[in-house]
C-alpha cells in the first residue's frame, strides 16, 4: 500500500527537528510515514541527529531541492554537480532513498521560447551525470516537471518520461506534482499514464499551494487516476505554508497560502485521507 508524506514547508521554512518532534502526535494521528526535507542549504542539516530522529520515529526521509539561478547545467555541468554533491551526501547520510525536485535546472528560469533540441540534449547529459553521482551515494534521482512559468525544460509527465528514456539510468524517476499538473496536463489520469514505469513520487499540492480541499484541484480525479495506474508509492502533501525565503520569489509566493496555517495539516490531511479512502486508494 501507498505511504502518505508531508513536506516540512507545511510546518516550517526549513528542517527543524524540534518542530517536527512537537508534531509527532499529529504525524501518528494522520498516518504520516514520510517527511520531505528541503536541502536548500545542506550544511544546515545535522545529519546524525536527523538520521537518529528518523530511526527512532520510524518516519522515512526523502530530500528535495532546486538548483540556484547562477548555475547553468548545460553550459557548465560541473557547477551543477558540485552543487548537488553536498545534497547527495546529506540525503544519503540521513537515510533517504532519493534526492528529488528540480534536480535538472533552476526554478523560475525560462527562455521565453520552446525548449530547443540543444537544451533537451544538454539537460539529458546533465541528468545522466547527476544520476551517476546519485548512484555512488546509493540514491535515486527524482525529476520534477514544473509549470511553464517556472521552467520551459520539463513541464509534463510526458516530458519527464522523454528525459528518463533518453538518459536510460535505472535510478532516475519522475517526481510529479498535482499543482503543476493542474496547469499543464490534459488530465491527471493522462499525466500519470504518460509517466509510465518512471512514476516514482507524487506531490499532492493544492491549486493555491494551501490546504488540500481549499482550492480547485479535483482530488477525486487525482486519487482515481492513481488507482487506475496502480501507484503504490509515496504521495506527499506539499504546501508553501512556510516557504523558505530563498525560493519564495521563484515560486511567486507573495502572500499566505492559507488563512489559518494550521489548516494545512489539521484540515488538509484528514481531507486527503477521506478522498483517498472513497477512491479505494489505501495508505498504510
Domain for residue 265, yes or no?
yes
Domain span holding position 103: 3-279
User: What is the Cα–Cα distance from 56 to 22, expressed in whole angstroms?
Assistant: 14
Q: Quick check: 174 pLDDT over 80?
A: yes
Domain for residue 269, yes or no?
yes
Q: Quick check: 255 pLDDT over 90?
A: no
Provide the pLDDT for residue 248.
74
Q: Write out pLDDT tens, residues 203-234.
A: 999 999 999 999 999 999 999 999 999 999 99
CATH number at residue 109: 3.20.20.150
Averaged pLDDT for residues 30-48: 96
Averaged pLDDT for residues 255-267: 88
Residues serving a catalytic function are 144, 238
Domain for residue 284, yes or no?
no
Query: Of 100-109, 182-191, 237-246, 267-276, where does mean pLDDT reach its minimum?
Result: 237-246
Residue 190 phi, psi (nearest 5) = -65, -40
Domain for residue 123, yes or no?
yes
pLDDT band at 242 (very low <50, low <70, confident <90, very high): confident
Provide the pLDDT for residue 256.
78
Provide the pLDDT for residue 109.
92
Q: How many domains does the chain have?
A: 1
Q: What is the 3-state secondary structure (H, E, C) of 139-178?
A: CEEEECCCCCCCECCCCCHHHHHHHHHHHCCCCEEEEEEH
User: What is the Cα–Cα distance from 50 to 60, expressed in whole angstroms?
Assistant: 11
Provide the pLDDT for residue 257.
76
Amino acid at each position: 500500500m501507498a505511504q502518505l508524506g508531508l513536506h516540512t514547508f507545511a510546518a516550517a521554512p526549513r528542517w527543524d527537528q524540534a518542530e517536527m518532534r512537537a508534531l509527532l502526535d499529529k504525524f501518528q494521528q494522520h498516518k504520516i510515514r514520510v517527511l520531505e526535507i528541503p536541502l536548500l542549504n545542506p550544511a544546515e542539516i545535522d545529519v546524525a541527529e536527523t538520521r537518529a530522529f528518523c530511526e527512532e520515529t520510524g518516519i522515512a526521509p526523502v530530500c528535495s531541492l532546486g538548483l540556484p539561478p547562477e548555475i547553468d547545467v548545460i553550459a557548465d555541468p560541473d557547477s551543477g554537480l558540485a552543487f548537488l554533491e553536498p545534497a547527495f551526501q546529506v540525503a544519503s547520510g540521513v537515510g533517504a532513498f532519493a534526492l528529488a525536485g528540480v534536480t535538472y535546472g533552476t526554478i523560475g528560469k525560462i527562455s521565453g521560447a520552446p525548449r530547443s533540441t540543444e537544451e533537451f540534449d544538454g539537460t539529458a547529459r546533465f541528468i545522466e551525470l547527476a544520476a551517476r553521482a546519485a548512484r555512488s551515494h546509493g540514491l535515486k534521482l527524482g525529476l520534477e516537471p514544473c509549470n511553464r512559468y517556472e521552467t520551459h525544460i520539463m513541464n509534463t509527465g510526458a516530458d519527464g518520461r522523454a528525459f528518463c528514456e533518453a538518459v536510460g539510468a535505472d535510478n532516475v524517476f519522475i517526481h510529479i506534482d498535482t499543482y503543476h499538473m493542474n496547469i499543464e496536463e490534459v488530465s491527471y489520469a493522462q499525466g500519470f499514464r504518460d509517466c509510465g514505469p518512471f512514476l516514482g513520487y507524487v506531490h499532492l499540492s493544492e491549486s493555491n499551494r494551501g490546504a488540500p480541499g481549499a482550492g480547485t484541484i479535483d482530488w477525486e480525479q487525482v486519487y482515481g487516476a492513481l488507482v487506475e495506474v496502480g501507484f503504490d508509492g509515496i504521495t506527499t502533501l506539499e504546501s508553501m505554508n512556510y516557504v523558505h525565503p530563498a525560493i519564495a520569489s521563484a515560486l511567486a509566493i507573495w502572500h499566505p497560502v492559507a488563512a489559518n496555517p494550521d489548516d494545512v495539516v489539521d484540515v488538509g490531511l484528514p481531507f486527503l485521507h477521506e478522498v483517498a479512502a472513497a477512491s479505494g486508494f489505501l495508505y498504510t
